[in-house]
Chains A and B, each alone.
Chain A
Amino acid sequence: MIRFILGKILWLIPTLVGITIVAFGFVRVLPGDPVLLMAGERGLTPERHAELTHQLGFDRPIWEQYFDFLWKVLHGNLGDSLVTHKPVLNEFLALFPATVELGLCAMVLAVAIGVPVGVMAAIKRGSWFDQATMTTALVGYSMPIFWWGLLLIILFSGILKWTPVSGRISLMYYFPNGSGFMIWDALMSGQKGALTSALSHLILPSVVLATIPLAVIARQTRSAMLEVLGEDYVRTARAKGMPPRRVIGIHALRNAMIPVITTIGLQVGMLMAGAILTETIFSWPGIGKWMVDSISRRDYPSVQGGLLMIAAIVMVVNLIVDLLYGLINPRIRHR
């Protein structure tokens, strides 16, 4: 098992190096003077330009610049934002809980609905339930989520006035030393109505973000279940006279879950892409909106740092999923 884990981690290293090269190279291939782009100052005198070039290391050979960048990254230094002049890493970490909270909520929603629906559709293959849910899943999978978000805002915020349009919590509440996880902070603060406010802000963005993963998980669960239900061991279990509930719950579902867990893991990258759109629509102060804003503000150190952090996080999550996969499926581990 340890060999399996070490092997997986070693396999990551070249890709991680590749990611740092992309993040490093990104600023160098932007049109325009990289010194001006990274310094964010206007109307520079030639002396100041030379000073900045030296300060930012652009006068040194490219490989030296890269190793310098790598060294800084390994020490947690991602540079300073051009807009706020604060360290990029601090900005990232301050906004990250908002994205995690939204992503987790969406994932819970997607798994809690997607898996049972997929299982039921497989059991009742060909029934109206199967057809209706799978058609709905395909519609969900084809959904432009930025439009879906707008429609939900029109209905639930505009017409029914049930939910707020944007933000994470009503302005009445403020938690100065909070964890950044609004639900947790609201719960811990003990303030009346805080939790309700946080939840009502969270519900629409979560539904929007969960839409595509939910559709993918439901479809994947259905097909994995169908495959497993045709296996000999399921037939044997049935022939032994085992109650159908036990056959499906223990023999079939546990084996069908193996590919489904991989799918769930793969959705983390999708969630990050979805977060960019969802956070923009709902003005949710997370990483996705921050990246879009940084790109439009030409805050390149932030874009560079964010790119690196997001890719690294997606990779680590995929690694965890891989390891989990090995844990539940010995065939993979011992290959």
Chain B
Amino acid sequence: MSEVTETNIPAGTRREQLAEFWFYFKENRGAVVGLTVFILVVLAATFAPLLSSFSPDVQYRDVLLAPPMTDSAHGHFWLGTDAVGRDMLSRLLFGARYSLFVGVVVVLLALSVGVVLGLLAGWFGGWVDTVIMRVMDVILAFPSLLLALVFVAILGPGLINAMIAIAIVYQPHFARLTRGAVLSERNKDYVMAARVAGAGNMRLMFRTVLPNCLAPLIVQGTLSFSNAILDVAALGFLGLGAQPPTPEWGTMLSEAREFILRAWWVVTFPGLAILITVLAINLMGDGLRDALDPKLKRS
């Protein structure tokens, strides 16, 4: 049975595919720069305890709002200190962990729920399709940040709840994409062949059709990754995301707001960290789209 419906691609072909993907990806210089920066952010987050000379939570009360490059009895503050005397650099490095974590969790949640709903809607059609897609339409009718705010109001402020809220708001995009891809794949010969060979609905949906719908989902996943980082930072900024003293970048900005005209560094660096990370991911996303979109490849 499994020999007939086998959709696994031989290892050699897969390596070739990967090589082809890399060939197109590296054509896009921006994407390579984005990938490099992204790897650096991941390394910074992973090795944050080794890279920072201070704990992100320890307050040095004698060096409040010290400008960058300040030497003190405690050590050298490369990026200065915040209003309660915590080292900015250490907080930014640890903050990278939260941002990446948020991005990964939101995308995984939104992707898995959205893909399952989209598969069900596209595969079964009829009333299943109507009900699922109408609900998705309702979610999409609300501006995403507004709906996320309301969900956080229901669930209570906090990083986890902010992530759940944003994942709920993002999943209709995945559902729509998957449904569209399934509709275009459903009646193709290879699916028919697998069905004739006796594959059940579950196998047809997840093993036969889904792998052929992955390209747009990967691109949407990267987009959602960067948007999730922005939106969680925005919720943190509004006081509804991660709560102080968590060194999340948006929350840091929110704490720094009252000092904007006195201490530029407490505002500038967290925002710059968000911008650089999001920009790197978006650059990568552009490269992925170029490498995965066969329509563009031909032109």
Q: Closest 10 CB pairs between A and B?
A: A147-B271, A18-B138, A273-B145, A273-B143, A272-B143, A142-B279, A142-B278, A158-B261, A144-B274, A269-B143
The answer, yes or no, to whether A19 is at the interface (CB within 8 Å) is: yes
A1-24 interface (Cβ within 8 A of B) = 14-15, 18-19, 21-22
**B143, A154: Cβ atoms closer than 8 Å:** no
**B267, A295: Cβ atoms closer than 8 Å:** no
Pick out which of these stretches binds chain B: A56-64, A234-242, A307-315. Answer: A307-315
**B137, A18: Cβ atoms closer than 8 Å:** yes
Q: Which chain A residues lie closer than 8 Å to B149 at the CB level?
A: 276, 291-292, 295
Interface residues on B, range: 35 or more
20 A-B pairs with C-beta separation under 8 A? A14-B137, A15-B137, A18-B141, A22-B138, A138-B30, A142-B275, A142-B279, A146-B250, A147-B274, A150-B267, A151-B267, A154-B260, A158-B260, A230-B299, A273-B143, A273-B145, A276-B146, A277-B237, A291-B146, A314-B143
Smallest CB–CB gap between B91 and chain A, Å? 16
Residue on A with the closest CB to B286? A138
- Please report the C-alpha to C-alpha distance between residue A143 and residue B143 in the assembled complex, in whole angstroms: 18
Q: Which chain B residues lie closer than 8 Å to A315 at the CB level?
A: 141
- Please report the C-alpha to C-alpha distance between residue A19 and residue B150 in the assembled complex, in whole angstroms: 13
The answer, yes or no, to whether B175 is at the interface (CB within 8 Å) is: no
**A18, B283: Cβ atoms closer than 8 Å:** no
Smallest CB–CB gap between A215 and chain B, Å? 10
A257-282 interface (Cβ within 8 A of B) = 269-270, 272-273, 276-277, 280
The answer, yes or no, to whether B144 is at the interface (CB within 8 Å) is: yes
- Please report the C-alpha to C-alpha distance between residue A30 and residue B149 in the assembled complex, in whole angstroms: 13
Residue on B with the closest CB to A131? B30
State the main secondary structure of chain B at its contact with A. helix
Q: Which chain A residues lie closer than 8 Å to B144 at the CB level?
A: 269, 273
CB < 8 Å neighbour of A30 from B153, B240, B283: B153
Using A139-B279, A144-B234, A147-B253 as known contacts, say yes or no to A154 and B141 having CB atoms under 8 A apart. Answer: no
Q: Which chain B residues lie closer than 8 Å to A273 at the CB level?
A: 143-146
The answer, yes or no, to whether B247 is at the interface (CB within 8 Å) is: no
**B137, A138: Cβ atoms closer than 8 Å:** no
Residue on B with the closest CB to A227? B299
The answer, yes or no, to whether B135 is at the interface (CB within 8 Å) is: yes
A139-194 interface (Cβ within 8 A of B) = 139, 141-144, 146-148, 150-151, 153-154, 157-158
Interface set of A (CB-CB < 8 Å, partner B):
14-15, 18-19, 21-22, 26, 29-31, 135, 138-139, 141-144, 146-148, 150-151, 153-154, 157-158, 230, 269-270, 272-273, 276-277, 280, 291-292, 295-296, 303, 307, 310-311, 314-315
Using A15-B138, A19-B138, A151-B271 as known contacts, say yes or no to A146 and B239 having CB atoms under 8 A apart. Answer: no
B251-280 interface (Cβ within 8 A of A) = 253, 257, 260-261, 264, 267-268, 270-271, 274-275, 278-279
Q: Which chain B residues lie closer than 8 Å to A151 at the CB level?
A: 267-268, 271
Known: A18-B141, A310-B142. 10 other contacts (CB 8 A): A18-B138, A141-B282, A142-B278, A144-B275, A147-B271, A153-B261, A291-B149, A292-B238, A295-B152, A303-B153
Q: Which chain A residues lie closer than 8 Å to B260 at the CB level?
A: 150, 153-154, 158
The answer, yes or no, to whether B297 is at the interface (CB within 8 Å) is: no
Residue on A with the closest CB to B156? A31
Q: Name the residue among A19, A22, A273 with the largest chain B CB count within 10 angstroms.
A: A273
- Please report the C-alpha to C-alpha distance between residue A276 and residue B142 in the assembled complex, in whole angstroms: 13
Contact with A along B126-151 (1 / 0, CB 8 A): 00000000110110011111100110
Smallest CB–CB gap between A280 and chain B, Å? 6
**A307, B271: Cβ atoms closer than 8 Å:** no
- Please report the C-alpha to C-alpha distance between residue A141 and residue B134 in the assembled complex, in whole angstroms: 29
Q: Which chain A residues lie closer than 8 Å to B230 at the CB level?
A: 142, 144
Q: Which chain A residues lie closer than 8 Å to B141 at the CB level?
A: 15, 18-19, 311, 314-315
CB < 8 Å neighbour of B154 from A26, A141, A157, A272: A26
Q: Which chain B residues lie closer than 8 Å to A292 at the CB level?
A: 149, 238
Q: Which chain A residues lie closer than 8 Å to B234 at the CB level?
A: 144, 146, 277
Residue on A with the closest CB to B281? A142
**B275, A311: Cβ atoms closer than 8 Å:** no
**A150, B257: Cβ atoms closer than 8 Å:** yes
**A307, B146: Cβ atoms closer than 8 Å:** yes
Q: Which chain A residues lie closer than 8 Å to B268 at the CB level?
A: 151
Smallest CB–CB gap between A185 and chain B, Å? 27
